[in-house]
Amino acid sequence: MTPPRSYGDAATDGHALLFDMDGVLIEGRGADDAVHERARDDALRAFDVEVPDHHRPALASYEYTEAFVEACRAVDLDPVEFYAARERHSARRIVDRLRAGERGLYPDVDALDPIADRHHLGLVSNNYHPAVEFVVDHHGLDAFSFARGREPGVEGFRRRKPDPHYLFEGLDALDAEAGYYVGDRETDLLAAERAGLEGVFVRRDHNVETRLGVEPAHEIDSLSDLGDLLDR
């Protein structure tokens, strides 16, 4: 397993300020289906397997579903092994797209630098860990003391939010017991609640009309609003 990235000393005030990545720090909600379709083809070439057309859509599924498992078994592929391979190719292709500049940072990410002077920040994403590492390094996001994406493979898939597994990992790394998690989806708020954090919902163009089934502890229109929230 690839270890999480740590970029500074652990927090000592017992609180953490954690952030989602896609739709919060970088533009867009995540990778489109074409990434996983091409990653499927990459993995099939590596396994040297020919697959009938009617099984190909299931093998490109982001989710580890029964349909994915059945399609793998139909062509004599181990579903757990193939899913991990397909996801590693997905992670590589996501990094290639990020490197090409297809998705940039939101302008208000600059507002985190002064906050980092007073608080240790962490990044916890459902995106793959190699993509999270790339974003932090490529954009010089030195404000973050901890950065964690999910591991490619079935175990990482099952630990994605709203499961709080990686949020707890962030809290442990920052020596924190409470704090905030800033996200753009209902699953972020659920994960925050399960981790004992206050969920902060940030409105972006892609979720401005979203009606939530979970009440956020706080709602903001920009990361620039976090300074006032933390000062209350």
Q: How confident is the model at residue 10 (pLDDT cuts 50, 70, 90)?
A: very low
Residues above pLDDT 70, as percent of the chain: 94
Q: Judge whether residue 77 has pLDDT over 60.
A: yes
Query: pLDDT tens digits, residue range 160-202?
Result: 999 999 999 999 999 999 999 999 999 999 999 999 999 999 9
Query: pLDDT tens digits, residue range 88-125?
Result: 999 999 999 999 999 999 999 999 999 998 888 999 99
Instruction: Using the structure block, give the residue that is written with the tokens 């903001």.
Output: 220
- Look up the pTM and report it: 0.92
Q: How confident is the model at residue 4 (pLDDT cuts 50, 70, 90)?
A: low
